[in-house]
Structure 1
Amino acid sequence: MGLPAVALSAELQTVNIALIEYEEDPRYKDNIIDARYQAQPWGRLEVAAKLAIKESRFAAQKKGVKFELDRQSVSELSALPELIQSLEAQGTQYFLLDLPGEGVKQVAQASKKPSSLLFNLSALDNNLRNEYCQANLLHIAPSQRMLTDAMAQYLVAKKWKEVLVLYSESEADTRYLKSLQTSAKKFGVDIVNEKPFKLGNDPRQRYRNNISLLTAKDDYDVVYVVDHSGEFAVDVPYSIIQPRPVVGAAGLVADWWHWAWERNGAPQVNKRFMKKGKRQMTGYDWSAWMAVKVIAEGVLRQETFAPNQLLDTLLDKEFKLDGAKGYPLNFKPWNHQLRQPVFLTSLNRVIDRAPVEGFLHPVNNLDVLGNDRGEGQCDLSKSTASGAK
């Protein structure tokens, strides 16, 4: 009985999927991982990608293919172009990018083969979906705008429209703040004040690192903490002067996956991941799991495996995926962002899901999150043949 299985294995076409990581990625520092901050990675993404490969293996075999994960890393972002071009020369066409935004941009610029597909797993930078968008770059992780849009919808729905913003002056949080400002203007949230904070306990910086002093004078419904790392935000709930909710990077947090989501098959996904990874699944893990699902589903939709035509398959208006989030998911044709709902979460509960009830769109309700068609500087739909909507 063993010989047919061996023969079958020998006949399968191997499809290599490269997972690209940055060894010095600050998001994966031990203190960040150990702290388990909300909406932050809790571990590397290899486990999630391998889980999706395992789940897809039988369907893939029927198409005569098998997926294999090739994990690669660089110690310097400047090494990415050489790595990507080397892998392309070896025949790799599918790349899962667990990189900061600058790394994703470098890979996109370095990729020389139009048939190579780059899947952004973890960079939330709006500019990757805007001025730096590229036809073969698909975004599985949501943009920062999608997350701030989701939170703005929830604040409006709860009538918590007067918002005090605390933010760091880092480059990442400057971009985060700009995204929040855009979302606030779009949905009618009033930012009553914006105050910079500084992580630490230096008494000379007490007006920036003392949460009581930062939140004492203004009149507000809610405090929004703009903190891309979560290190300052974790101390803000229950430390502000007025009895008000805290949202943003702590308290109520917009996230694209949460282990406490109990519908749409999510408990089964979480259980399988927990068994394999020995921890709870995060949005970052979901991105890796989902990216492999996208590739596998695209391959299965083709009559015969045609890797050079997979992008057209993925962008076809009939292409939809189940991400265990309750909506059919597909890609926005204008910037290749995966349409998806966003969860509003506490530490151990999903409080709501955006699009929040009452926020509608004439074509697809998921398009009330992030850039809509015609917004920004990216319109890739003009260069694709699928005609997706």
Structure 2
Amino acid sequence: MKLRFPTHLACAAGALRPPPMAGLMHLALAMGLLLFTLAATAAEVIRFGYLELDKDPRYDDKKAFFRTLSRPLGPPLAGAEVAIREVRFVGQALGVGFELARAKGADAAALLAELDRLNGEGVRFFLIDAPGPVVAELAAKTRGRELLLFNVSAADDALRQAQCQAHLYHTLPNHGMQTDALAQFLVFKKWRNVLLLQGPRDEDKLIGAAFENSARRLGLKIVARKEFVLSNDPRQREQGNVGLLTAGADHDVVFVADSDGEFARSVPYDTVRPRPVIGAEGLVAEAWHWAWPRHGAPQLTGRFDKQAKRHMGSADWAAWIAVKAVVEAVVRTENAPFDKLVAYLGSEEITIDGFKGNRLNFRDWDRQLRQPMLIATHNAVIERAPIQGFLHQSNNMDTLGFDRRDSQCKP
């Protein structure tokens, strides 16, 4: 296209003078805006599906008033929303947009229908916020399909073991990682004799079993295991009495396996002996804690606080890092085809920054995200695991949870 300049720009000799500098600047700006508009219009959009139950008992408002350390602070959707906001500029540089599509269902069957609908619209990355049995059913019924599931809120060990699937990734730590972190701390402190208090729920038993396994591997001694019952029934009064439950065998620390947390909150300062309480209350091992002060964590916590109007918890961080992991793979592979992107996501080559000071990636045997654990109280992080001195032949973070030799995963 030829540019025609006004005749008044002609010089005395009849030749055209160059256009003024201001005109060139305006022309360049107009062309830049045009190119940006065209690029934005043509940009590919990568959508994340976020699947959750209509009424998830884990987020019951009636139980939120006491908010023990073992309970989530709220649905982790806000973590994914923060991540989507953070990656906008990365996407613009790559010519890719990122969006989040939220869907709810009454049960696993309803969530599967929503997954099918979104997958039919081109969504291939799904964050699953649901209890372990629901996650297991969704993973089993989507096996072999060209999609990835990210478990962001179910800590069940079985999802990383017998119920594992090749396309099911886990960004939330499992129970074994939590209890291994606490067991390392107890060994470090030389608090080797443990009283285990365990609740009646199936989830309580899973937590108790995970701690027993950690204790056995690290040389801790469980001096007694007592079952508690939180009830108004006078016939069960003794099973709900902290003083009676903590009397008897001497111990250095009390581990409480309480998935609900209502009993656990009454244990500190009510034991017969002056002993620390860990597990569900007192001292916990989590993926994230709002008081973590290093590696850029306060900035992430601040962004989340602004978005959700509450502190960031482990499941929130797990949803955030799931989005960031996919985006990292998209950027490093230059938005390669799905199979190449998945191969990079699950490789040792990927480096994911979780603001916890370590290079994060997924274990190739069970798709669990390697990550440090924050050992914390209500308002302070006391230690980060793996604790110094606990070594592994290839990656020290594999001292937490199921190592390759311990894995029962056969996807």
TM-score bracket relative to the smaller structure:
over 0.9
Contact 2:285–2:376 (8 Å) recurs in 1: yes
Structure 2 residue aligned with 1:318? 349
Counterpart mapping for 1:145-184 below 5 A: 145-184=176-215
Structure 2 residue aligned with 1:308? 339
Q: 2:326 aligns with which of 292, 295, 320?
A: 295
Contact 2:108–2:138 (8 Å) recurs in 1: no
| Letter aligned with residue 86 of structure 2 | E
Q: 2:67 aligns with which of 33, 36, 57?
A: 36
CA distance in 1, matches of 2:406, 2:214: 13
CA distance in 1, matches of 2:81, 2:36: 21
Structure 1 residue aligned with 2:129? 98
Q: CA deviation at 1:65?
A: 1.2
Structure 1 residue aligned with 2:224? 193
CA distance in 2, matches of 1:201, 1:310: 55
* Deviation per residue, 1:114-141 (Å, 9 max, x gap): 3201000011011110111111110000
Structure 2 residue aligned with 1:45? 76
Structure 1 residue aligned with 2:257? 226
Structure 1 residue aligned with 2:298? 267
Contact 1:329–1:339 (8 Å) recurs in 2: yes
Residue aligned with 1:184, SS? helix
2:131 is the alignment partner of 1:83 = no
Q: 1:109 aligns with which of 136, 140, 152?
A: 140
Structure 2 residue aligned with 1:384? none
Runs of 4+ in structure 1 over 4 Å off: 1-5
Contact 1:28–1:41 (8 Å) recurs in 2: yes
Cα root mean square deviation, aligned: 1.5
Contact 2:253–2:278 (8 Å) recurs in 1: yes
Counterpart mapping for 1:337-356 below 5 A: 337-356=368-387
CA distance in 2, matches of 1:308, 1:360: 34
| Letter aligned with residue 279 of structure 1 | R
* Deviation per residue, 1:88-143 (Å, 9 max, x gap): 22221000011100111111112155320100001101111011111111000011
CA distance in 2, matches of 1:321, 1:290: 8
Q: 2:39 aligns with which of 8, 12, 19?
A: 8
CA distance in 2, matches of 1:379, 1:367: 18
CA distance in 2, matches of 1:167, 1:18: 36
TM-score (norm: length of structure 2): 0.89
Structure 2 residue aligned with 1:210? 241
Residue aligned with 1:205, SS? helix
Structure 1 residue aligned with 2:16? none
Contact 2:373–2:385 (8 Å) recurs in 1: yes
Q: 1:136 aligns with which of 167, 172, 175?
A: 167
Task: Report how many residues are paired.
Answer: 380
Contact 1:39–1:282 (8 Å) recurs in 2: no
Q: CA deviation at 1:6?
A: 3.8
Q: 1:361 aligns with which of 382, 392, 395?
A: 392
Structure 2 residue aligned with 1:334? 365
Contact 1:149–1:369 (8 Å) recurs in 2: yes
Contact 1:211–1:239 (8 Å) recurs in 2: yes
* Deviation per residue, 1:148-193 (Å, 9 max, x gap): 0000110111111110011112111111111111101010110000
**Structure 2 unmatched runs, 5+:** 1-29
In terms of Rg, which structure is larger? 2
* Deviation per residue, 1:250-287 (Å, 9 max, x gap): 00111110000000110111011111111111011101
Contact 2:55–2:106 (8 Å) recurs in 1: yes
Contact 1:84–1:111 (8 Å) recurs in 2: no
CA distance in 2, matches of 1:113, 1:130: 18
Contact 1:39–1:254 (8 Å) recurs in 2: no
**Structure 1 unmatched runs, 5+:** 381-389
CA distance in 2, matches of 1:154, 1:77: 38
Residue aligned with 2:357, SS? coil
Q: CA deviation at 1:10?
A: 1.2
Structure 1 residue aligned with 2:155? 124
Structure 1 residue aligned with 2:271? 240
CA distance in 2, matches of 1:48, 1:5: 29
| Letter aligned with residue 192 of structure 1 | V
Identity of aligned residues (%): 44
Q: CA deviation at 1:203?
A: 2.4
Contact 1:80–1:106 (8 Å) recurs in 2: no
